[in-house]
């Protein structure tokens, strides 16, 4: 693990798998729709591994052979079920709340860049207690583009008033690293999220951390 650039002026985070362990509620919603459809519920580990890839990827764990149109037809019902159980079991990963507090005490602005749609993201953040703390929240439908396109990252930087080359973007998915790299920010990949079975080192982030404590050190905070 190497240290983050010394000119850090702000930090951006992915949401699911980076700040929040939201897999339990996403899996619970899948259990409901599979019961409705008479399909076997896949193992939780299989569901958890793809959470960062979005609702369609979660559905495909139960319908692996389905045509894209079938998955698309199921998605609105799945998201409606999930919307009804937001934050029932989702929580910040251990150590994240304390890390955010350290960032805030240091006077660094921070925000969220997620591919989750706004109608799900904002209520979830409100219930988790992060809505009033994040300086900016860029959702999957805030712009016409979403990660791995760099536009959401650049939009967040502009909203926080920080230069991309002085910004860190922290995420648990290849798309986070790709979006950050294309935006000209420094990237930090975390090893505790939903990496879809991939090795985060293969994404070639600027920094790779395995725990929130290591992330704090990478951000320049003393142990």
Burial 93-112 (b: 16+ CB within 10 A, else e): beebbebbeebeeeebbbbb
pLDDT for res 221? 87
Structure confidence at residue 196 (pLDDT):
72
Grade residue 2 by pLDDT with cuts at 50, 70 and 90: very low
Alpha carbon distance 26, 31 (integer Å): 9
Model confidence, pTM: 0.94
pLDDT of residue 198: 87
CA distance linking residue 48 with residue 54, whole number of Å: 11
pLDDT digit string (tens) for 155-190? 999 999 999 999 999 999 999 999 999 999 999 999
Q: Is the bond into 73 cis (omega within 30 degrees of 0)?
A: no
Average pLDDT over residues 30-47: 97
Block residue for tokens 């052979």: 65
CA angle 8, 192, 103 (to 5 degrees): 30
Segment 140-162 mean pLDDT: 98
Both tokens of residue 214?
């290591």
Place of tokens 């050190």: 217
Tell me the chain's radius of gyration from C-alpha atoms: 17
From CA 23, how far away is CA 30, in angstroms rounded? Answer: 10
Tell me: pLDDT of 35 over 80.
yes
With a cut of 70, say whether residue 1 has pLDDT above it.
Answer: no
The angle subtended at Cα 154 by Cα 152 and Cα 160, nearest 5°, is: 105
Percent of the chain whose pLDDT exceeds 70: 96
> Hey, what are 112's tokens?
């969220």
Name the catalytic one among 14, 172, 173, 206: 14
pLDDT at 161: 97
Q: Whole-angstrom Cα distance, residue 41 to residue 9? A: 44
Report CA torsion sign: 138, 140, 144, 146. Answer: positive
Residue 208 reports pLDDT greater than 70: yes
With cut-offs at 50, 70 and 90, classify the pLDDT of residue 195.
confident
CA distances from 159 to 23, 57, 61, 118, 133 (A): 29, 30, 36, 17, 14
Residues 200-213, mean pLDDT to the nearest whole number: 95
> What confidence tens digit (pLDDT) does each residue in 71-123 have?
999 999 999 999 999 999 999 999 999 999 999 999 999 999 999 999 999 99
pLDDT at position 6, please? 54
Whether 80 sits among the annotated catalytic residues: the reply is no
* CA–CA separation, 82 and 118 (whole Å): 14
pLDDT above 90 for 37? yes
């Amino acid at each position: 693990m190497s240290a983050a650039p010394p000119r850090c002026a702000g930090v951006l985070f992915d949401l699911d798998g980076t700040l929040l362990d939201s897999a339990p509620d996403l899996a619970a919603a899948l259990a409901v729709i599979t019961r409705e459809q008479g399909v076997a519920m896949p193992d939780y580990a299989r569901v958890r591994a793809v959470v960062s890839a979005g609702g369609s990827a979660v559905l495909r764990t139960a319908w692996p052979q389905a045509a894209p149109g079938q998955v698309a037809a199921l998605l609105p019902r799945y998201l409606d079920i999930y919307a009804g159980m937001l934050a029932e079991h989702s929580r910040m990963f251990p150590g994240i709340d304390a890390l955010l507090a350290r960032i805030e005490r240091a006077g660094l602005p921070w925000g969220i860049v997620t591919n989750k749609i706004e109608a799900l993201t904002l209520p979830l953040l409100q219930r988790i207690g992060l809505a009033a703390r994040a300086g900016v929240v860029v959702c999957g439908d805030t712009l016409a583009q979403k990660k791995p396109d760099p536009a959401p990252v650049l939009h967040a930087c502009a909203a926080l008033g920080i230069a991309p080359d002085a910004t860190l973007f922290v995420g648990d998915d290849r798309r986070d690293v790709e979006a950050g790299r294309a935006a000209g920010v420094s990237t930090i990949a975390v090893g505790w999220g939903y990496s879809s079975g991939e090795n985060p080192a293969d994404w070639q982030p600027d920094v790779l951390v395995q725990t929130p404590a290591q992330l704090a050190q990478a951000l320049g905070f003393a142990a």
